[in-house]
Chain A
């Protein structure tokens, strides 16, 4: 990813912001990215205005931090990394319990966010980007004031498009290579183009991975009997809104296993392995139209299963609607991919550079399983590890998978 187009400001000069606040939305070739603030302060100056396309790393706004005189300021930069959702933007969400109604544009029922995030359906956001409509000028008529496609089109017909909707088609190799110069105006991006751009981004990252990373691969079948039985009993006690998926157990087990074998968690940078203390697990989420994206669940090792489940649900929803936060796509420290839904039993992963490991899970299948001199039928899951041989060796990789297996035998402790 080299550039993005600013499509919405959620703050104005004078607004106080704190770390983690979402202050703007930038459209890129692969997704709309919500830009977060990393520093508390007061917005002093908006540098990039709606409709402008700027390179990654460009200063979007100046923030005056506490104690600073007006003038100096902490710049907020565009800092997304390749990732890959398709369609448009918006905080999607379950529809309000309204009378039954067949309607494709999802009514958006985003949780109330203090920053005043827009309520808008993915389709409407896409339309706004294509038509170059400034969303600040659109009056929403949908549920809870949500902006619908029709609202956007109405606004577009009133005002001549002031915005050059645009996105760079170019895709960068996985990691952060800010482009210095970006031509000012670009043509509007059709969904097909965005999809092509995503393909290109994946191609660049994966080519780099296979060119630079000496992968080694390990696999071990895991008896999932205990884990699934525990989960089933647990879900029986829970209302539908609080049920867990077994992938949550897998994610937690991976995060705990890397605490034991830290060589799997971090980055290969400048010819050396840099271990990460934090465990931000990238979760590969496929898109039905093709392509995938692996946003991170932060500090997964410290989260409860319920918290992980909540995060995962939210991420899947936002990935499929095309809205992610800048930090989520920038900082996974290792990635998990689960292809069991597609029916495969074994995954041979390709590492996402500069990460050094990718953990793969296949489908849970019933298999004959011998233990203690007895053969029985067990639900078996093939866990695989693709790891960077520059950062670790097969022995450590084997210990990692063994730890994973052991952790999954005690699901109640996860």
Chain B
């Protein structure tokens, strides 16, 4: 998948988790937890949402590697189909 597609998936999932968030205001380099006030349930739902959309099952130990939007893209790029 192209970076833009991965980014779009992550943003869509975030939109479901935090309907009140202004997604276009997200700084892709900054920690999502802090920016959107996400808790562990939100993070789990993010991982589930990504799994459902892209088919990548992210082990719990790798959650810290998915801290920001850019980090998510970097992590998912080699793991998503079509790459």
Contacts and interface: CB of A to CB of B under 8 A. Distances in A.
Interface stretch (A23-31, A235-243, A273-281): A235-243
A282 to B, nearest CB: 16
A89 to B, nearest CB: 12
Q: Provide the main secondary structure of the chain A interface.
A: loop
B39 A341 contact: yes
A100 B23 contact: no
Interface residues of B, number: 31
Interface string B30-64: 00000011011100110111011100011110000
Contact of B15 (A106, A236, A241, A321): A106
A95 interface: yes
Interface stretch (A51-59, A60-68, A160-168, A312-320): A312-320
B49 A102 contact: no
Contacts of B51: 239-241
Interface string A58-93: 000000000000000000000000000011000011
A103 B52 contact: no
B11 A232 contact: no
Given A232-B60, A240-B58, A321-B19, A94 B49 contact: yes
A247 B12 CA distance: 26
Interface of B: 5-6, 8-9, 11-13, 15-16, 18-21, 23, 36-37, 39-41, 44-45, 47-49, 51-53, 57-60
Contact of B16 (A94, A232, A247): A94
Interface of A: 86-87, 92-95, 97, 100-106, 121-123, 232, 235-236, 239-241, 243, 245, 247, 288-289, 312-313, 316-317, 320-321, 341
A104 B19 contact: yes
B1 to A, nearest CB: 8
A95 B20 contact: no
A147 B39 CA distance: 29
A288 B37 contact: yes
Given A100-B53, A313-B45, A320 B19 contact: yes
Contacts of B6: 100
Given A100-B9, A245-B44, A236 B52 contact: no
Given A95-B12, A316-B41, A106 B19 contact: yes
- Which of A86, A100, A104, A236 neighbours the largest number of chain B CB atoms within 10 Å of its CB? A100
Contacts of B60: 232, 235-236, 243
Given A94-B48, A245-B40, A100 B8 contact: yes
A102 B8 contact: yes
Nearest to B57: A240
